Amino acid sequence: AQKITQTQPGMFVQEKEAVTLDCTYDTSDPSYGLFWYKQPSSGEMIFLIYQGSYDQQNATEGRYSLNFQKARKSANLVISASQLGDSAMYFCAMREGLWSGTASKLTFGTGTRLQVTL
Amino acid sequence: DADVTQTPRNRITKTGKRIMLECSQTKGHDRMYWYRQDPGLGLRLIYYSFDVKDINKGEISDGYSVSRQAQAKFSLSLESAIPNQTALYFCATSDPGGRETQYFGPGTRLLVL
């Protein structure tokens, strides 16, 4: 079974509008972390936002926020007031065994390509 | 200057050749990783290292080897390159404990002919 599922291969959004990128995950570990990365056309992977499984509040970082629904195992990225520079691939990733000290591996989804239009 | 650097940024090689991809970091992180990215498959872990004396295989280590020369340096080798190793390769680093966010280098585009 896929540990991280991103069901939207591509999304379009108009400039200044908000957009939600979906991510669902599968784990039996009670302690895990969820990450979102942005990959522009230049190729680099840029860390955006993090949500821990025990965090009481949804994470926010500027225009990025995470709609974390633990019971549904979803961690959707919300980008508010989209800008042309937001056009990129977006990857959701998970690290299980958050406090184990041994398991640092990230498992990635297949990504969603976001295109921001005028 | 970038915290995580990779050399070369682009490489074209022929089937059967040995090549090395290098990664250096100035973040002072103990943990380093090598991933490959193929279209439609996201990133997959090749090898990871928790410190200079600790090397671990990831999910797709066959055909690859690594060397952790120092805390700041982690290199990936393809002993005998094959065309299906054509991919974008990323090095990443993290600090142990807490969220352990991984920070990525700019990537190396490898083409095996």
pLDDT greater at residue A98 or residue A17: A17
Per-residue pLDDT, A102: 57
Per-residue pLDDT, A97: 76
Burial of B80 (0-12, 13-18, 19+ CB in 10 A): exposed
- CA A64 – CA A90 distance, rounded (Å): 12
A76 reaches B (C-beta below 8 A): no
- Mean pLDDT of the region A68-90: 97
- CA B19 – CA B81 distance, rounded (Å): 7
Q: How far is B39 from chain A (nearest CA, A)?
A: 9
User: B-chain residues within 8 Å CB-CB of A46?
Assistant: 104
Q: How far is A108 from chain B (nearest CA, A)?
A: 6
User: A-chain residues within 8 Å CB-CB of B107?
Assistant: 43-45
Q: How far is A93 from chain B (nearest CA, A)?
A: 9
With a cut of 70, list the residues of chain B below it in pLDDT.
Answer: 1-2, 97-98
Residue type for position B53:
K
Per-residue pLDDT, A99: 64
Contact pairs from chain A to chain B, CB under 8 Å: 58
Largest distance between two CA atoms of chain B: 42
A106 reaches B (C-beta below 8 A): yes
Per-residue pLDDT, B100: 82
Could you report the per-residue pLDDT of A6-52, keeping only the tens digit for each? 999 999 999 999 999 999 999 998 889 999 999 999 999 999 999 99
Could you report the per-residue pLDDT of A48-78, keeping only the tens digit for each? 999 999 998 999 999 999 999 999 999 999 9
Q: Distance between terminal CA atoms of chain A? A: 38
